[in-house]
Structure 1
Amino acid sequence: MKSPFYILCLLTILLSCKENKDNSTKKSKAEKDTIAKKIEVNIPSNGETDRDLSKIKYLEQEEFIPFMKEYAKDNQESIVDVETDFGTFTIQLFPEPVLHKANFLRLAKLGYFDTTVFHRVDDNFVIQGGNSDRMATYQFRKAVGSYLIPNEFNKKYPHDYGVVSAAKYADQNVSNASSPFEFFVVTKPDGAYHLDEDHTVFGKVIKGMDVVEKIDDLETDESEWPLRNVGMVAKVKR
C-alpha cells in the first residue's frame, strides 16, 4: 500500500500539470485572439505593405457630403499617377465634381486603390478599376464606409475618349449615384456619350493613354475580367 505522503505528492504533481495545461491553453487562445485582431486591422496592400485600417473614419451616407466638403478644403491636389505593370498613366482631376474628386483623393491617399486591380476590360469601350477578389480590398471597403456618391455630372465634361468616370451599382441606382470605389477610363475612340448624365466624369488621363490602351487590349474571360491581373498603385502628386 502506498503511503499517504506518496499519494499527496502524486496529487500535487497531477494538479500542477493540469494548471500548466490550463495556463498554456489560455495563453494559446490569447495569442490567437491577438493574431486575429492584427489580421482584421493590418491589411496587406498588394501583399507587401501593412495598413492600419483602425485609423480610418467610417462614413455613413448622412455624413458623407459634409465630411467630403470639409475634406476638399484641405486636400486640393488634382494630379494622380496610376502605376501599373504596363507603365504609368496620369489623371488630372476636375474641380467641379467636388464630392467625386475628394472621394477619389481620399481613397488614393489611404491606399485603397493599391489593393485593387483593373477588373473589367471592354475593348474599345472602357477599362474599369477599383475592385478585386482580394480580402484586403473587401476589408478596406468595410473600413471606409457604406455610402454612395450623389450624381455630379456636368455637361462641361462629357464622356470623351480618355476621361475618368465613376462606375455605379445597377441594383442601387436610385438616382444615378456613383460607387465610391470603382472608376473607369473611356477607351472608345469616338467617345461614349450615351453614358452622359448617368455617370459622373471627374477627371481625364493627360499622360500615358498608351498604357491604358495596353490594358484595354488584354484578353478577358466571359465576364470581361482580364485573364491576367493588373494591379495599380495610385500616387497623389500635386
Structure 2
Amino acid sequence: MKYLLYLSVGLIFFFTSCEDKKNTSAVPSEVTSEAEKNSEEKNDISEEKASAKQKRTYPEITNQNMVEFLTKYGAENPETEVLVSTQHGDIEIELYRDTPLHRANFIYLVKQKYFDGSFFHRVVPNFIIQGGNSDNVKTTKKRAAIGNAYLLPAELENGRKHSYGTVSGAKEYRENPDNRTAPFEFFIFLGPQSSTGHLNGNYTIFGKVTKGMDVVEKIANLPADEGDWPLQNVYIKAEVLQ
C-alpha cells in the first residue's frame, strides 16, 4: 500500500510538472512577439517623424516668398513630365518651361504628395475635368502645411490658347484682376474651341496631356451631381516621371 501511495504521488508530480513546463514555455514566446511588435511600431513612428522632419525643411509658401522660393526650387527640380493615376486609368502630362512658376509649383506639389488622395472633383462633359481638391480633411491639412494663402502670378506672355488636352491652373475669382492662379487646382480642357472665349488670356496654360485623353474623356462623362461633383470620387495619385 505504501508503495502504491508513493507511486500515485510520483505520477501526479510527473504530470503536473509537464503541464507547468508547457505553460511556462508559451509565455516567453508571447512576450517576445509583443516586443517585436513594439519594436516595429517604434520603427514606423521613427520613419514617420523622419519623413515629417524632411518635409519641414521647406518654408511655408506665402505671396511674399513665393517667387523666390519657386524660382530656386524650379532650378533645382527641372522635371517636366508627371504621371497622374486614377482608378479609371493613367494620364501623362508634359509641363511647359515657359511657365516656370507654374511648372515649379506643380512639381513641388507632386513631390510633397499633395495630390495623393485628392480628387478630380469637377467633371463637365465636352468641356473640362478639374482636380486637386477633396472633402477629405487631409487635403485641408496639406494645404495649411504648404501654405494656403498664396496665389501664382499669371504667366500669359506666351499667348498660348486652350485646346484639346491643355492643362491650366484654376483661378481665384474674387478680387483677382491680375488673373492669379489658385496653386492647388488644375483643369484639363477637352471642349470645343468655341468654349475658350472666357478662358484664353485669363487662365495660365502650363502643360498638356501627352497620353491618356481617353481616360480624361471617361472621367468627364461620369455621373455627377448638380455641382459637377462626380457621384463616385475619382481619386488622384501623382508622381514625377522625368
1:234 to 235, 238, 242: 238
Runs of 4+ in 1 over 3 A off after TM superposition: 53-56, 189-192
**1:60 CA drift (Å):** 1.3
**1:171 CA drift (Å):** 1.5
2:221 to 217, 223, 226: 217
Using the alignment, how far apart are the partners of 2:160 and 2:194 within structure 1? 12
Q: TM-score, normalised by structure 2?
A: 0.75
**1:155 CA drift (Å):** 4.1
Partners of 2:159 and 2:201 within 8 A in 1: no
Matched, 1:186 2:192: no
Partners of 1:159 and 1:191 within 8 A in 2: no
With over 3 angstroms needed to count, the CA separation of the structure-2 counterparts of 1:119 and 1:172, relative to structure 1, is farther
With over 3 angstroms needed to count, the CA separation of the structure-2 counterparts of 1:120 and 1:81, relative to structure 1, is same
**1:59 CA drift (Å):** 1.2
- Partner letter of residue 76 of structure 1? P
What number of residue pairs does the alignment pair up? Answer: 191
**1:149 CA drift (Å):** 0.3
- Partner letter of residue 143 of structure 2? R
Using the alignment, how far apart are the partners of 1:220 and 1:126 within structure 2? 13
**1:169 CA drift (Å):** 1.5
5+ residue gaps, structure 1? 1-37, 43-50
In structure 1, the partner of 2:151 is 148
With over 3 angstroms needed to count, the CA separation of the structure-2 counterparts of 1:117 and 1:88, relative to structure 1, is same
In structure 2, the partner of 1:111 is 113
Counterparts of 1:80-91 in structure 2 under 5 Å? 80-91=82-93
- Rg larger in 1 or in 2? 2
2:177 to 171, 174, 178: 174
Partners of 2:170 and 2:203 within 8 A in 1: yes
Using the alignment, how far apart are the partners of 1:232 and 1:60 within structure 2? 25
In structure 1, the partner of 2:162 is 159
2:59 to 57, 60, 65: 57
Partners of 1:166 and 1:183 within 8 A in 2: yes
Q: TM-score, normalised by structure 1?
A: 0.76
In structure 1, the partner of 2:210 is 206
Q: Helix, strand or coil for the counterpart of 1:59?
A: coil
**1:55 CA drift (Å):** 4.7
Cα RMSD for the two superposed structures: 1.8
**1:131 CA drift (Å):** 0.4
Using the alignment, how far apart are the partners of 2:181 and 2:202 within structure 1? 9
The C-alpha deviation readout for 1:5-42, integer Å capped at 9, x for no partner, is xxxxxxxxxxxxxxxxxxxxxxxxxxxxxxxxx9xxx7
Identity, in percent, stands at: 43
1:134 to 125, 133, 136: 136
Using the alignment, how far apart are the partners of 2:194 and 2:115 within structure 1? 25
Using the alignment, how far apart are the partners of 1:225 and 1:173 within structure 2? 25
The C-alpha deviation readout for 1:133-176, integer Å capped at 9, x for no partner, is 10110000001112000000244421011000000121142311
